[in-house]
Amino acid sequence: MKKRINKMDEKVGKVLISKEQIEKRIKELAKQISQDYEGKDLICVIILRGAFMFVTDLAKEISIPAKFDFMATSSYGDSTKSSGVVRIYKDLDMNIEGKDVLIIEDIVDTGRTINYLVKNLKTRNPKSLEVCTLLNKPANRVVNVKIKYVGFVIPPEFVIGYGLDFAEDYRHITEVRVFKED
Ligand code: PRP
């Protein structure tokens, strides 16, 4: 049965990254992460909500001991433009002091969210702190950020699917697609 996306289907544009491309790249990223963190005290900090689908697939491919905790932030609201104000509405439960922390994001766009999170988490004295993002959109950057693991570099288009939303819709689409604004 063909998946019904919703009544706004005409706004769902072309596939930018297919399911198969995502699967292949995630295996590569997980292999690299497993090698780099072998013997370390890895805590993956997942940034909700967008990263939920990425981490579900990534976690299954990580072959070393790892812990997972979650933070929720918001900067977009119901818009396709970043508000510029990052809000934490769920904090970590785990203590990350002395741990090797890897932030898992779905997308780095303006860089404001990750910049804010890196500064915030550094104050908790982790042993190391790095960033892994499925998508990187460097053309929109307003803050310079260091990202160790990148799945795909994408052009400056608003994208949805594979966890990414527009006004909370479209997160369950299985590939990354362009969103056609009005
Ligand atoms: C998205 C995404 C990143 C952030 C990236 O989250 O998940 O956290 O925006 O954008 P930036 O680099 O311009 O800061 P959003 O605030 O939309 O919340 P969501 O994950 O719940 O969709």
Please, which residues have CB within 8 angstroms of residue 35's CB and are 6 or more apart in sequence?
A: none
The CATH architecture assigned to 20-157 reads: 3-Layer(aba) Sandwich (3.40)
Atom of ligand 1 nearest to the CA of 165: 22
Atom of ligand 1 at shortest range from CA of 140: 13
Q: How many angstroms is it from 13 CA to the middle of ligand 1?
A: 20
Q: SS3 helix, strand, coil % of the chain, rounded to 5?
A: 25, 30, 45
12-28 pLDDT, tens per residue? Answer: 999 999 999 999 999 99
Cα 13 to Cα 5: distance, rounded to the nearest angstrom: 12
Which atom of ligand 1 is least distant from the CA of 116? 14
pLDDT value at residue 88: 92
Band (pLDDT 50/70/90 cuts) for residue 77 is low
Q: Is the distance from CB of 46 to CB of 56 less than 8 angstroms?
A: no
Structure tokens at 106: 């779905």
Give the Å distance between the CA of 58 and the centre of ligand 1: 19
Amino acid in the structure at residue 23: E
Cα dihedral 59/62/65/66 (nearest 10): -40
Instruction: Please choose from 75, 82, 116, 133 the residue to mutate so as to test ligand 1's pocket, defined by most ligand atoms within 8 A of CB.
Output: 75
Residue among 28, 117, 30 at smallest CA distance from 70: 117
Which residues line the pocket of ligand 1, CB cutoff 6 A? 47, 49-50, 73-76, 82, 105-114, 165
In a 13 Å sphere around the CA of 17, the CA atoms on its Cβ side amount to: 22
> In the chain, where are the structural domains located?
20-157
pLDDT (tens digit, 9 = 90+) per residue, 116-140?
999 999 999 999 999 999 999 999 9
Residues 6+ positions from 161 with CB-CB distance below 8 Å: 170, 171, 172, 173, 174, 175, 176, 177
State the DSSP string of 82-103: --S--EEEE--SS--TTSEEEE
Q: Where are the beta strands (DSSP E) in the chain?
A: 12-17, 42-48, 67-74, 87-90, 100-108, 128-136, 149-153, 159-160, 176-179
Residues 131/103, Cβ–Cβ less than 8 Å: yes
**pTM here?**
0.93
pLDDT at 101 over 60: yes
Identify the residue whose C-alpha is closest to ligand 1 atom 10. Answer: 109
Distance 176 CA to ligand 1 centre (A): 15
* 44-74 pLDDT, tens digit each: 999 999 999 999 999 999 999 999 999 999 8
182's CB contacts (< 8 A; 6+ apart) are none
